[in-house]
Amino acid sequence: MKQLFLTALLLITTISFSQSVVGEWETYDDDSGQLKSKVRIYKKDGKVYGKILELYNVEVDIDNPTCIYCTDYRKDQPVKGMEIMTGFTKDGEEWSADDALLDPKNGEVYDGKIWLVSDNKLAVRGYIGWFYRTQYWNRVK
């Protein structure tokens, strides 16, 4: 009986962990499909946030570019280590927030929604009004 309980607990823990948006994700360029960055998504006070860990295939020739187009507290701050997802709250199977997704390439901030397509694929959607764009990120293994 004790083994059955431990097996069930382990299975539930594994399923819960694998179905979480929390973790490290690789992002890709919409046009070229090239690897763009590695982002860590984490929970803080019941909300979800995301921070850039690494940059890849950067168009500028410096080690850690800054967000020159940002207009808020992130203006001229290093992109590596920058919080680009802020304050997402859970709504069913999705997480959403207003003014919560930053594109450091152009400084634009979008309303956002994220959800798991599968255990290893995350949909990240940014909105401006009725218009939206969805990117798919892959979980780092």
Domains and CATH numbers, the chain: 21-139 (2.40.128.520)
Name the 3-class secondary structure at 52.
Answer: strand
Distance CA 100, CA 61 (A): 28
pLDDT tens sequence across 74-132: 999 999 999 999 999 999 999 999 999 999 989 999 999 999 999 999 999 999 989 99
- Of 100, 98, 136, the closest CA to residue 116 belongs to 136
Query: Given the structure tokens 């399923």, which residue do they identify?
Result: 15
Residue 20 has pLDDT above 70, yes or no: yes
Compute the C-alpha angle 72/126/117, nearest 5°: 135
- Of 130, 129, 54, 52, the closest CA to residue 86 belongs to 52
Residue 47 has pLDDT above 60, yes or no: yes
Instruction: Determine contact, residues 36/59, Cβ cutoff 8 Å.
Output: no
Instruction: Determine contact, residues 40/29, Cβ cutoff 8 Å.
Output: no
Average pLDDT over residues 15-35: 83
Distance CA 86, CA 95 (A): 11
pLDDT for 13 equals: 42
